[in-house]
Amino acid sequence: MPVLFNVTLKKDAPPAELEKAKEHARASGGTITHEYSLIKGFTVEFPNDQVSVLETDDHIHVEQDGEVKTQ
């Protein structure tokens, strides 16, 4: 079952690292579903067993997309 992940560029990372992360995500079977304009990042849909390919990159932060609720 595919899972959505939010990928953002770390504060001190060069901007070119974001393009590298997108290319790497696509090459690893991911589908980019949204690209952000206010922050340097994107949302990618991966088969659940493939996200680890991005988690090893020192220039980006990866977290699973989830529902946010207020109380």
pTM listed for this prediction:
0.79
Domains of the chain: 2-64 (3.30.70.80)
- For residue 5, which amino acid is it? F
Segment-wise mean pLDDT, segments of 10 residues, the chain, 71 residues: 86 90 91 93 82 73 71 68
Q: Is the separation of the CB atoms in 59 and 16 below 8 Å?
A: no
Strand, coil or helix: what is 42?
strand
